[in-house]
Amino acid sequence: MALFHSSRLVSPCLASLSARASSWWAHVEMGPPDPILGVTEAFKRDTNSKKMNLGVGAYRDDNGKPYVLNCVRKAEAQLAAKNLDKEYLPIAGLAEFNKASAELALGDTNEVIKSGRYVTVQSISGTGSLRVGANFLQRFFKYSRDLYLPKPSWGNHTPIFRDAGMQLQSYRYYDPKTCGFDFNGAVEDISKIPEQSVILFHACAHNPTGVDPRPEQWKELAAVVKKRNLFAFFDMAYQGFASGDINRDAWAVRHFIEQGINVVLCQSYAKNMGLYGERVGAFTVVCKDAEEAKRVESQLKILIRPMYSNPPLNGARIASAILTSPDLRKEWLQEVKGMADRIIGMRTQLVANLKKEGSSHNWQHITDQIGMFCFTGLKPEQVERLTKEFSIYMTKDGRISVAGVTSGNVAYLAHAIHQVSK
């Protein structure tokens, strides 16, 4: 039967088609592609046998393959043998994991740990930890909406804090002239930040530059933060993975606390345990006393409940087993140092091969920088040439993941860099 409308006959099929055509989402625009995932897609399409993907922030062994730590395999086997259930975790996560994470970050003899004036909740890796922290600030940090990021910072920091309702500002950090830390610029900018604002620091292995302050510089930064009465937010995604020493990599966080600065801290076990897809992280708030910590914990649970109810079980069990078993922990410390040392070694080999190629540039910044990433100082047009002429893929800012460099391809990389920079 036809429908009668405006003196015309309209078939039911056409009416249905018209209704479908007026979509609820017609106004939604196509979003820009993720810059790093875009690099990976282009790499996959390339047929050159010498192609290199230096865009992805995941560790690779010296054969360029993903690496699962032996201690992780052993922990998984031990957990499987226990025939454990798959019940929900509490909202705050696995209690023994939270305790071990706080002790790893702050040191198990730290006064904060002994007095119980902290709360740690399990999170969905580093990103989830940051988002929980950002939402907590948005709801309870009543003094300011301004959050100051180093320039540059990890690309995801901006949308995480912006989407939580914070106002993003920046302070000088990286000096492109030296490919190093702009210490004077950072101190000058931080000295002008309005009191009671939030400032974010990368605890170690700054992403994307690989540039970290030295201990004496951290001391001055802490002094300025304390003088300006700023709130310090630490992101620590690479403890142990940066230098190979868990205590050295946590030094800045511990120093700030020693100076009476009550920080918040995000941790991730993606890099230092290779638990990328398990999504294991923690968020810690250092409080005035144990009573305040209880109140903060109660509100963190209220925040987390509608976000994801409770965190994943398996990765936290693995990380907790490694951190609390003396044998597994000892093996982990050796393995994380092995990963850090391989990356440090690749930096040294890259500089040596650049010199062998006859490069007259000063590449010392490659070995001065630390962690997975290196800001090479290459310009966008040089990066484009590396991709087009040598099938070497990286982000346009010249950042490379040193984890993608191996003893088998480091000479090829050095040759290509020299050709586009000479």
Q: Which residues are catalytic?
A: 154, 235, 271
| Exposure b/e, 274-311, CB count within 10 A at least 16 = b | bbbebbbbbbbbbbeeeebbeebbeebeebbeeeeebb
Cis peptide before 152 (omega within 30 of 0): yes
Residue located via tokens 């990380």:
319
Please count the CA atoms within 13 angstroms of the CA of 336 that sit on its side-chain side: 29
* Range list of H helices, 141-210: 157-163, 183-191
List Cβ neighbours of 44 (8 Å cut-off, separation of 6 or more): none
Residue 277: both structure tokens together:
């897809």
By residue count, the chain amounts to 422
CA atoms 151, 157, 163, 164: torsion sign: negative
Please count the CA atoms within 13 angstroms of the CA of 278 that sit on its side-chain side: 23
Residue located via tokens 């250092």:
286
How far is Cα 126 from Cα 302, in angstroms, rounded to an integer?
Answer: 20
Quick one: DSSP state of residue 60?
A: B
* CB of 378 closer than 8 Å to CB of 418: no
The neighbouring-strand residues paired with 201 are: 234
Residue located via tokens 């047929």:
47
Whole-number CA gyration radius for the chain:
24
